[in-house]
Every structure is written in structure tokens, then in C-alpha cells.
Structure 1
Amino acid sequence: MKLSSKANLYLTLATLMWGITFPLTRNALTEVDPFVFVSLRFALASLVLLPSVWFLFHKTTRAMLFGSLMIGILNAAAYLCQTIGLETVHSARAAFITGASVIFVPFLAPLFKLEKPSRLDKLCALIGFAGLYVIMDIQHFHIAHGDLWVFLGAISFSLQITYLQRLNQIIADYQLLTFYQLFFTLPFVLLFTRGHSFSEAMQPRALEGIIFCAVFATSLAYYLQNKYQKFTNAPKAALIFALEPVFASVFGMLINRELLARTTVYGGLLLLLSLVLPSLVNMSKESSSSIK
């Protein structure tokens, strides 16, 4: 198997695991508090990654620590908001709203001294906002409380993606950076766990969700992404990552028997189009230039 094909396969596996987290998190939240869930998720994920970076700590720099600290704040905000929203929002709906985080990235990029949004970015943003409008049923004022939490999480994710993109330009050790960004998420989440019982996490559904999200969807998925994403091109990687809400929808139906509302289907299709359109255009340009 070619290295690029192997990379695409492993990135798809990582995306599959991210998609599964949505229904499993919903199940876990019936038994454990969102703040406890997120704190244990990142504590366990950090412990799992610790052996792989134990002999790399001497490479730590001030820039890496400061950057990871900022990522930790954004991570905490993103995952807490998303997890609180999942208490009341179905997996597919939450996943598509979360996927909208990609729409905001081109518009936030100039704030971090990155490239300005192109015309295609603006077109995709319009399509994406139309999808959000349909999914959140703004026309009939049916915006759920959980929708707003998930949307705030999407904004935090977009800030995290943009800042991490900037950070990757000045820090080469992705493995150590990954550990620090997970580790520094923990203290900011723990600030909100005061007064909450950690014994709830020993319930079967809670334990299942925490272990899967920490070990597979965080430690393993981030490891696969960091190791293999460089062996495929950006458009293909973006197309693969756009499958996350699709996987969340499928496993939401399989695991929790969640039914897809029409607004989720139609809005989700618009959001999916806004996510994959830039990649399709770039792939088309690459193929036409190679023919020449």
C-alpha cells in the first residue's frame, strides 16, 4: 500500500473515532457531569501520551509552553461548551454545528498574521451560514439552549484551529506540542469541577465514554493525525475530516437510534458542501495543472 493511501486510511480512522464520540458522550452525560467528563477525558489522554514524550521534554521551549497554554484555554472552552450542549442536542445536529468551526477559520486567520480569506472562502462561508440557519431553525425561533452552547464551542474550535496553525509555523516538534496542548487543557477544566462528584464517572456508560474519548478519540486520533497528515495533501485531508458529522450521524442512529430531523439533513448537506467545496476546487486545480 502506498504511503499516501495508508495516510488517508489512518486519517479516516481518526475521523471515524471523532464521529463516534458524539453519541458516546451523550450517553455518558446521563450519568456524569460535563465538567467531570471533560476533565477526566483530558487527564487520561495526557497520561496515555506521557510515555511517548517522556524523553522529549528537554526540547521544551518557552514559545511551546506559552502557545500550549493558550491552546489549553481554547480547548477547555471548546470541549466544555460542546459537551454541555450534547446534554440536550442530538449527535448529528451537534456534529454539523461543530463542523461549522471551519467556516470561521479564514476570517480569523488575518488576526494571527495568516492569509486573508479568498472569494471562495467567502462563498463557502455564505453556504455554511445558510446550513446553520436551517439546522438551528432560526426562521421559526426554535434555537435550542444546547445549540447555542455547541455553537460557542464551534467558535472556540475555530480560534484553536487558527492559533494552532500559526503555532505550527514556529514549533517543529508536533508530538510534544500535542501532549502540552492536552495537558494544559486540564487545569482550566478543573476550575469548574468544584462541588461535582467524580464517583459518577465509575458508572458503566460514563466510564465507556471517558475511556473511548480519551484513549481512542484523543490520544490515538491525535497521534495518527500528527504522524500521517503530512503524507497526504491538504485538500484530501480536509475532505476526510469533513466526514466527522457524517460518522456522528450514522453512529447516532446505530448506537442511540436517533432520528434525523429534516432541518438536520438539509442544513447538514449545505454545511457539508461548504466544507468540501474548497478541497474539490483545489484538487481540480492540481489535476488541471498536472495535465499541462
Structure 2
Amino acid sequence: MNKRVAGVVSLVVTTILWGSSFSFIKLSVTDVSPLTYSSLRSFIAVILLTPIILLRMYRGVLSINSLYKGFIVGITYFLGLFLQAAGTVYTTPSLSAFITGLNSVHVHLYIALVERNYGLIDGIALLLALSGLYVLTSPSGGLTIGVLLILMGSIAWAAQIILVSRYGSSSIIEILYGMFLPGALTYPFALILGGAVGIEALIYITYLAVACSVLATFFQVWGQRYVSPLTAALIFLLEPVFALLFSLAMGLEGIEPYKVIGGGLIVIATYLSSMAELSSNRSK
């Protein structure tokens, strides 16, 4: 399989896993504080990866430089997790999904203004995706503290996407471990401030750590080695589409025309951007 095709597929898998996270995040932050949720999720991820890191250290192949790069990415990752969770407490899931999706705009603006590597298809795909995201999520409500927190979180997510592309050639395991370290290091403070975590919340957060942190981020880092941040940002807008599909499969929502239209626009936008990616030589 062509590496760019494999990269696109890998990022779609990432987005499917992220799409499964919405309901678990909402359930988690109703029982624990946003700080406890985000730090415990990272702490569990670090525990899972520690045996591999120790083995690499024993074999003398551990890359300290990659760990450092991962830690830098991890600061943006933890900020994104925390700000999104904190904002979700004060707003609706649909509005949260829409504002989080604006990270795609931030990435496109960065590429256009800073790297000056932007095409017409990129702009068209972005407009289609944002239109679909708006129709799909039907956001409502004014400017609140929740909106501001999630907006800041979307900027953090955009920075994470850009940094993953920049450091993607580094050792993946070390990048992942370093990425989860900032959040894990805050867990003792979260315990002091947030109290104990119940069994039900622990189950939800463990799933999020395994599937949506370790596995999803592995596929993200690997996929972004072969896919530009422009296309990656648009592929990640499929997250609310997959969230809707999971919700439909679980009988939590019904099929409505606006959901089909919104999801369809995002799929078309992703297709356009992916085809442009596969037929171009733009930098990763």
C-alpha cells in the first residue's frame, strides 16, 4: 500500500477512535473534575507505555531527544484535553464539537500565513468541512466561559497537529510517552484538589486512555509522517461524524436530514483534500 494512502487510512482510524470518545468524556466530567479527568487519562497512558520505555532503555535504544520533543507536544495535548473538558462543563456537546473543530481553521491559517503553502482545493475543502460541521452540530448559545475555554483548547489542538507533523520522524514510542508525561505529572495535584475517582468514572477514563490516547495517538503520529497537516486537520473533522454514527448505532440518536447533509459535506471535503494530498508532492 502506498505510504500516503496508509497515512490517510491511519488518520481515519484515529478519528474513528476519537469519535467514540464523546459520550465517555461527558460521563467522566460529570463525576470528576476536568483536571482529574485529563491528568488521570494521561497517567494511565504513561503506565501502559512505561514497560516498553524501560525495555528500550535496557536495550540502549531509548531516544532522549524524541522524549523531549514528545514532552513539548504533550504540553499542547494536555492543554487541549483540559480546556475541552473544562469548557464542556459549561456548554452543550454540539457547541463543544463545533468549536473544537475550529482547530482545522487554525492549522490552515498557520500554513497559509507562516509556511505560505496553500492551494485553492485546500480552501474549498475547508469551507465545505466547516459548513458541514456547522450543519451537523447545530451549535447554539452566545459567548460564555465554556465557549472561550473550548476555543483556547482548539488552538492547543491545532498546535499539537502542527508539532506532530514537525516531529513525526522521531521515534514514535518516545514521542507518545513524552506526550503523555505533562498530564501524568499533574495527577498528584489533581488527586489533592479533585478527590477520589469512582469505579464507573475510572472505567470510562481507562477506555479513553487506552483507545483514544495510546492507540489513537499512535495512529496519528504514524499517519502524519506521510500526510500534510492541512489534510490531517480536515480528516480530523470526521470526528463528530463518527461520534454521530456511534450514537446512532447505540440508539442514542435518530437519523435526521440535517445530520446526513452535514456529515456528507464533511466527507466530501475530506475526500477532496485526501485526493489532492495523494496526487501532490506537498511537504509533510
Q: CA deviation at 1:54?
A: 1.9
* Alignment partner of 1:84 is 2:86: yes
Does the 8 A contact of 2:83 with 2:149 survive in 1? yes
Tell me the equivalent position of 1:177: 175
Aligned with residue 67 of structure 1, among 66, 69, 79: 69
Shift of 1:115: 5.3
Alpha-carbon distance in structure 1 between the residues aligned to 2:212 and 2:145: 26
Percent identical across equivalent pairs? 24
Q: Tell me the amino acid that sits aligned with residue 245 of structure 1.
A: P
Alignment match, 2:122: 121
The 5 Å alignment of 1:31-46 reads 31-46=31-46
Q: Distance in 1 between matches of 2:143 and 2:261?
A: 16
Q: CA deviation at 1:173?
A: 1.2
Q: Structure 2 vs 1, CA of residues 137 and 45 (structure 1 numbering), >3 Å: closer, same or farther? A: closer
Structure 1 segment 44-193 matched on structure 2, within 5 A: 44-57=44-57, 58=60, 59-61=62-64, 63-91=65-93, 93-109=95-111, 114=115, 116-128=117-129, 130=131, 135=137, 137=139, 142-143=142-143, 145-168=145-168, 171-187=169-185, 189-190=186-187, 193=190
Distance 1:114 1:249, change over 3 A: same
Q: Could you say what secondary structure the match of 1:257 adopts?
A: coil
Report the counterpart of residue 290 of structure 1 in structure 2: none
For the residues of structure 2 that align with 1:210 and 1:158, how far apart are their CA atoms?
A: 23
Q: Please tell me the residue identity of whatever aligns with 1:120.
A: I
Q: Give 2:205's aligned residue.
A: 210
Secondary structure, aligned partner of 1:41? helix
Alignment CA distance shift 1:159-1:259 (3 Å): farther
Match of 1:21 in 2: 21
Q: TM-score, normalised by structure 1?
A: 0.73
Deviation string 1:166-225 (CA, Å, 9 cap, x unpaired) is 223xx53122111111113333x44973752331x2241x12211100112112233344
Count the aligned residue pairs: 274
Question: Match for residue 193 of structure 2?
Answer: 196
Q: Which runs of 5+ in 2 are unaligned?
A: none
Q: CA RMSD in A?
A: 3.9
What do the CA deviations read for 1:100-153 (whole angstroms, capped 9, x no partner)? 322321322478x75533333333444455556665757xx6456534433322
Q: Counterpart in 1 of 2:215?
A: 220
TM-score (norm 2): 0.75
Q: Are positions 1:246 and 2:246 aligned together?
A: no
- Mapped partners of 2:249, 2:184: distance in 1: 31
